[in-house]
Structure 1
Amino acid sequence: MNIQQLLVERFTSALNILGFTDAPVPVAKNTKKGFGEYQFNGAMGLAKKLKQNPRDIAQQIIDAVDISDMASTLEIAGPGFINIHINNMWLSAQLSAVLSDKRLGIDIVPAKNVVVDYSAPNLAKEMHVGHLRSTIIGDAVVRCLAFLGHNVIRQNHMGDWGTQFGMLLAHLQDKLAQDQVAETALSDLEDFYREAKVRFDNEEGFADTARQYVVRLQGGDKECLALWKNFIDVSISHSEDIYKTLGVSLSRQDVMGESAYNDDLATVVSILKEKGIAQEDAGAQVVFLQELADKNGKPAVYIVQKSGGGYLYATTDLAAIRHRSSVLQADRTLIFTDARQALHFKQTEMVARKANFMQPDEAYQHCPFGMMLGKDNKPFKTRTGGTVKLIDLLDEAVERAEKLVLGRKPDIDPQQLAQMKSTLGIGAVKYADLSKNRTTDYVFDWNAMLSFEGNTAPYLQYAYTRIQSIFEKAKFDPAAHAQSTIEMSIEQDAEKALCLHLLQCQNALELVAIEATPHILCTYLYELASLYMRFYEACPILKDDVSRQSKHTRLSLCVLTASTLKLGLDLLGIGTMQKM
């Protein structure tokens, strides 16, 4: 349910009755206590256009709008704001309906084919902290899109091609010749890459051998391709281990490496040349983008083929657009990479649209994100200044969570500890990232992210377990409760505030889906947990003097709060626990 959308529909109908068919319908949540829960702000704009008194226009709208079932009062404030006080009886009815709905009142939206390109590690190296944001932000958006009913096609655009593979394959061949198996040789990709690079730079003849492997690989040599596939298979397994630890929904079937587009690269360049979009310049094939010219009028340069005949990321990304549009039938494509690539994707979209590689109404959305910083406000590094392996970061998160749990419950059952430390540690790392606007940089802080206070995963996980403890104390079955015939009765301010927020979940999810910004869902969940804590303090649930109807209503609010917290955290890829 989207209360805001319901109100927009009612006010739209009223404006049509009054003949204001093209007027905007600005309905927003009211942030001022005592002035209603929502506000319509369109009267002033209409009044200016019609040269009439805005309060008179507001009164005409109030007289025309059919909203008596939803609102107890409509009042004009200030120069023409219409404050909307939601009816408690209507809220009680909605609460009852949502309680028996497995989707918590969240409607399926009109489905689109949405291609989401995220994570995208380079298979020549292990995943590091630089891959964290793309992986978890993309996965949270994917989960929200799918839950709302979209057909989501995950595309993990892995770097599995290029000249560096000649060096790696030559080194791997020597390892296998020494009777090592690929899994053992590649157990540490960073070490393997470093060894190969040292040989390439220093060992006589090795660089020539590596270049020969590149030629053989690009020429389709069977033996070389088999070696390459072996390398790729083991490398993907490394990524799969990370995804499993992170609780990310990507699988091997979602991998669409750069190599998948090789056969289309020559066609891409040929089409661009035939259409006069690309032209030769110093032996290379170049697109000059006058739309992005500098202050001196010099156009931006977008190279699609090097002078030696080689292709670039630009060529591969154009081929990916062709594949996603024609084969995957994408209505919308989302690509999650760091902000430094924003210009590249802007140029890529411009060239693709000039070449008609995508449909005119097809959306192409680069979703840039900021950097993860250390406490020194510099890119997050190891103490020695090196790149932090992602697996090392996650292992440390689990270790820190274990110490935290043991500090609070030293006699905890080992099996419960094993689950709790992983759920807490991994959840804390993910939520600390997801709760920040993806377009900004953020400072990585262990103490802040593992805190049980503030906008953190442990705070939300604790709020969930606190509700479970109420159910346990009351010997209460939430599933059976949903079948109860007792009427709801929202009466207290804290009950109303919590109920209203519960009914606004759809709005938060739709914003995440539209803007590709999971922090909106994080903010919603944090506000939900905070409202629940206020409700819990203000509205007794299990005391003897609480009426049967009030107890039923308050337990219903507990059920829906717990279910919504769990759903929201699930959509963020974060686990919950029954006890903490």
Structure 2
Amino acid sequence: MNGIPSLADQLASRLRSAAAGTLPPEAAEQDLQIQRSEHADYQANGAFALASRLKRPPRQIAAAIADACEPDGLVASVEVSGPGYLNLRVADDAIMAQIERRSHDEALGVPATAPLRTVVDYSQPNIAKEMHVGHLRSTIIGDALVRVFSFLGSPVVRQNHLGDWGTQFGMLIQYLDEGPGVSWRHEAQESSAGAVSRLTALYQQARAAFDADPEFAERARRRVVQLQSGDPGTLATWHEIVDESKRYFNEVYDRLDVLLTDDDAVGESFYNPGLQDVANELERMGIAVESQGALCVFFDDVKGPDGEPVPLIVRKADGGFGYAATDLAAIRHRVDVLRAQRILYVVDARQALHFRMVFETARRAGWLPEGVEAAHVPFGSVLGADGKPLKTREGDAFRLIELLDEAVAYALATVLEKDPEVAGADVDTVARQVGIGAVKYASLVTSRTRDSVFDLDRMISLTGNTGVYLQYAHARVRSILRRAAEAGPAGSPVGGTLEPAERRLALHLDEFARAVVEVSGTLEPHRLCTYLFTLAQLFTEFYESCPVLKAATDQERARRVALCQLTADTLRRGLNLLGIAAPDRL
């Protein structure tokens, strides 16, 4: 993807040439800070920075650049405003030629960025436990980032770090082996969700038995040792539990339409053979030291409320390994084997200190070399409509499947209310696309570090900044294009005078690449949501004031059809990058 330079970039190049021809050489190196403006198509503010370098008034510098930048095929006019702003108006034909170029480009003119081999760690469910609302944002945000990086040309390695190892599995397997009288495996024609729901309940019973019965607790601990030493019977049951859980995870991922597959799943058990080596190496290098029987890494600037240092515990006093050792082993694997240049962890904000300590430890050990970036991508909680953490009446986290079912059912009612004629398989497909899209968009539309609100009334509203609003906007444009096609082919969109609403829509369409690249740079998918919502609003304004099918001339119709086409394609591409379906009919 070579990309198509935006109009703003073309104007910047034009102004630099003008500055180089009339000002000292250093003027050609100055960023002229071109941005959209209410006073013109664009405004350049670079004269103020140049003023301090050239020791001349900014308005004088702006006037010199304006005089040297004569109108041409790109620039319609350049005017000096205020103390030194340059107000720029783009030629109408240049705008529509840009729309035509973007429409004919498979990537809509978005350029590939410098490829960066990126490992994205996201979703991270636990084996033998149902996915709940806490997994929602990690899965959705991570999936959107993966799609954006891939679209921009970076090789991406998806990693789903499964919690599949530890004391809890010895406890569960022992409880199953002692025969609670419940069949947990999924039956024929049954969803794996049923089996994992039973496993979750059995785990809770095993936990209660472990806490209440010292003899059972001792047997469970022995079972952990058997699991870790490779006892065939214990391993066979463990593999069954893992496989059943992964089938269930895949059902959830299929419902959510995310890209994760079995090939992306890497459990904690994968890193288990290397944990002792991690501990030995850190101790040998003097990075980790023993403290109260545990092997710890200390940091000068990490202290608890009592002022005492808070360590990263690599190996516990009982000899067991926790998350820190596993995460350090994962970093070594991702750098040495996966050849990562960037590693992103899409994990909730509460883990910020943990990742800060893990990354610093890996840097000290040389496992995270210079040139390899590691970043925690934090996000807020999911709240209910009342502004409190979303929980069931019993105080438990909502099961993710229940939330998705509720959203799809709500969407079905909304779709049928809007169009009672929809029937059969179509309505089920549309309801699923609308309901799942609403859930995903609600997780992405706010800055990821802020809390997200799960409020179906708002999420599946046909007005406001919702996924449904964007889906209906896309379907509406596609409907217009179908009717335009029935009226016969349109000519060239270049030519004639743009109406203000046409102009605003066209200039915003030209900024799609900037929005996508911003998501990649900031790791903030909500920036693309904001762009798409503004696009849908501008299209509505355009359609209400600029007839398409009943345009006054063939040339005017061709221009407006071209704007409709690029709007539809941009909405579809943008929604796809967010992992949201863009149905042609709603």
TM norm. shorter chain > 0.5: yes
2:57 to 53, 57, 62: 53
* Cα drift, residue 127 of structure 1: 0.3
Contact 1:342 1:368 in 2 (8 A): yes
SS of alignment partner, residue 182 of structure 1: coil
1:469-495 CA-partner distances (Å, limit 9, x unpaired): 2233334499x76xx656455611111
TM-score, normalisation: structure 2: 0.91
Tell me: CA distance 1:413–1:310, structure 2 relative to 1, closer, same or farther (3 Å): same
1:127 equivalent in alignment to 2:131: yes
**Map of 1:316 onto structure 2:** 326
Report what 2:395 is aligned to. 385
Offset, 1:183: 3.0
Does the CA-based 8 Å contact 1:92-1:489 persist in structure 2?
no
Partner of 1:272: 282
Q: Which residue does the alignment assign to 1:244?
A: 254
Output the amino acid matched with 1:214: V
2:576 maps to 1:570: yes
Identify the residue that residue 291 of structure 2 maps to in structure 1. Answer: 281
Contact 1:10 1:67 in 2 (8 A): no
User: Quick one: structure 1 residues 25 and 388, their matched pair in 2 at CA, closer, same or farther if it must change by over 3 Å?
Assistant: same
How big is the shift at 1:78?
2.1
Alignment of 1:410-429 (within 5 A): 410-429=420-439
The residue identity in structure 2 corresponding to 1:454 is: G
Aligned to 2:191: none
Which position in structure 1 is the counterpart of 2:244?
Answer: 234
| Structure-2 separation of matches of 1:183 and 1:358 | 42
Once the two structures are TM-superposed, the CA of residue 548 in structure 1 deviates from its matched residue by: 1.0
2:501 pairs with 1:494:
yes
The Cα offsets for residues 110-158 of structure 1, whole Å up to 9 and x where unpaired, read as 2110111111111131100000000001101111111111101101111
DSSP-derived class of the 1:186 partner = helix
After superposition, what is the alpha-carbon deviation per residue over 1:4-37, rounded to whole angstroms, capped at 9, x for unaligned? 44445555666677332796525242342xx222
Structure 1 CA distance, aligned partners of 2:207 and 2:448?
34
SS at match of 2:186: helix
SS state of the match for residue 157, structure 1?
A: strand
Checking the alignment, whether the CA contact within 8 Å between 2:492 and 2:555 is kept in structure 1 is no
Q: In the TM superposition, what is the alpha-carbon distance from 1:430 to its structure 2 partner?
A: 1.1
Q: How does 1:454-533 map to 2 (within 5 A)?
A: 454-476=464-486, 487=494, 489=496, 491-533=498-540
Counterpart code for 1:338? D
Report whether the alignment pairs 1:105 with 2:109.
yes
In 2, Cα distance between equivalents of 1:301 and 1:452: 50
From 116, 121, 131, give the equivalent of 1:117.
Answer: 121
CA deviation string 1:287-339 (max 9, x = no partner): 11114457997544222111222111111111111111111111111111111
Residues 268 and 318, structure 1, Cα contact 8 Å, conserved in 2: yes
Give the Cα–Cα distance (whole angstroms) in 1 for the partners of residues 317 and 487 of structure 2. 70
DSSP-derived class of the 2:161 partner: coil
> 2: CA distance between counterparts of 1:435 and 1:16?
42
1:160 and 2:168 aligned: no
- Which of residues 183, 186, 193 is equivalent to 2:195? 186
Aligned residue identity for 2:35: K
Q: Deviations over 1:215-248 (max 9, x none)?
A: 1111222332222111111111111111000111
- What is the CA–CA distance in structure 2 between the aligned matches of 1:16 and 1:378, rounded to whole Å? 58
Offset, 1:201: 3.4
Identity between Structure 1 and Structure 2 (%): 43
Alpha carbons 1:2, 1:503 under 8 Å: kept: no
Structure 2 unpaired stretches of 5+: 188-193
| Residue 409 (structure 1) shift | 2.7
Aligned mates of 2:354, 2:506 — CA distance in 1? 45
- Residues 490, 321 of structure 1: alpha-carbon distance in 2 compared, 3 angstrom cutoff: farther
- SS of the counterpart of 2:548? coil
Which residue in the other structure is 1:443 paired with? 453
What does the per-residue CA deviation read over 1:411-456, in whole Å, with 9 as the maximum and x for residues that have no partner? 4212221111111111111111111110111322111111000111
Which whole-Å CA distance do the structure 1 matches of 2:56 and 2:414 have between them?
A: 64
Secondary structure of 2:208's counterpart equals helix
TM-score by length of 1: 0.92
Offset of residue 392 of structure 1: 0.4
Compared CA separation, residues 174 and 71, structure 1 to 2 (3 A): farther
The one-letter code sitting in structure 1 at the alignment partner of 2:572 is K
Give the CA deviation at 1:376.
2.7
Report how many aligned residue pairs link the two structures: 573
1:269 CA displacement:
1.7
Structure 2 counterpart of 1:155, one-letter code: Q
Q: Which residue of 2 aligns with 1:173?
A: 177
Matched-pair contact (CA < 8 Å) for 1:10–1:66 = no
Q: Which residue does 1:29 correspond to in 2?
A: 35
> 1:156 is paired with a residue of what secondary structure?
strand
Structure 2 residue 375 is matched with structure 1 residue 365: yes
Equivalent residues of 1:289, 1:301 under 8 A apart = yes
CA contact 2:129–2:196 (8 Å) conserved in 1: no
Post-superposition offset of 1:263: 1.9
Contact 2:12–2:34, Cα closer than 8 Å, also in 1: no
CA contact (8 A) 1:2 1:506 kept: no
Contact 2:133–2:398 (8 Å) recurs in 1:
yes
Counterpart selection for 1:263 from 273, 295, 310: 273
1:92 Cα deviation (Å)?
1.4
Gaps of 5+ in 1: none
CA change 1:418–1:487 in 2 (3 A) is: same
Question: Contact 2:130/2:196 (CA < 8 Å) preserved in 1?
Answer: no
Query: Distance between the aligned counterparts of 1:172 and 1:262, measured in 2?
Result: 24
CA distance in 2 between counterparts of 1:278 and 1:64 reads: 65
Query: What is the 5 A alignment of 1:198-237?
Result: 198-202=208-212, 205-237=215-247
117-126 or 198-207, larger mean C-alpha shift: 198-207
Cα distance in 2 for residues equivalent to 1:97 and 1:173: 66
Counterpart contact for 1:427–1:457, Cα < 8 Å: yes
Correspondence 1:32-43 to 2 at 5 A: 32=38, 35-43=39-47
1:290–1:298 CA contact under 8 A, matched in 2: no
1:377 and 1:179 map into 2 onto residues whose CA distance is: 39
Conservation of the 8 A alpha-carbon contact between 1:435 and 1:518 = yes
1:66-123 CA distances to partner (integer Å, 9 max, x unpaired)? 9944322222222222222222221111111122222211222221101111111111
SS in structure 2 opposite 1:361? coil
Deviation at 1:207, TM superposition (A): 2.1
Superposition deviation, residue 555 in structure 1: 0.6
Whole-angstrom distance in 2 between the partners of 1:85 and 1:323? 53
**8 Å Cα contact 2:92/2:495 also seen in 1:** no
Following the alignment from structure 2 to structure 1, what is the Cα–Cα distance between the partners of residues 18 and 169?
Answer: 65
The answer to whether the 8 Å contact 1:95/1:488 transfers is no
Amino acid at match of 1:48: S
Measured in 1, the distance between the counterparts of 2:98 and 2:487 equals: 21
| CA shift in 2, pair 1:300/1:178, >3 Å | closer
Amino acid at match of 2:517: E
Listed one character per residue, the Cα deviations across residues 535-556 of structure 1 (whole Å, up to 9, x for unaligned) are: 101111111x521111111111
Query: Which residue in 1 is equivalent to 2:337?
Result: 327
> Structure 1 311/92 Cα, relative in aligned 2: closer, same or farther at 3 Å?
same
Distance 1:191 1:350, change over 3 A: same
Alignment RMSD (CA, Å):
2.5
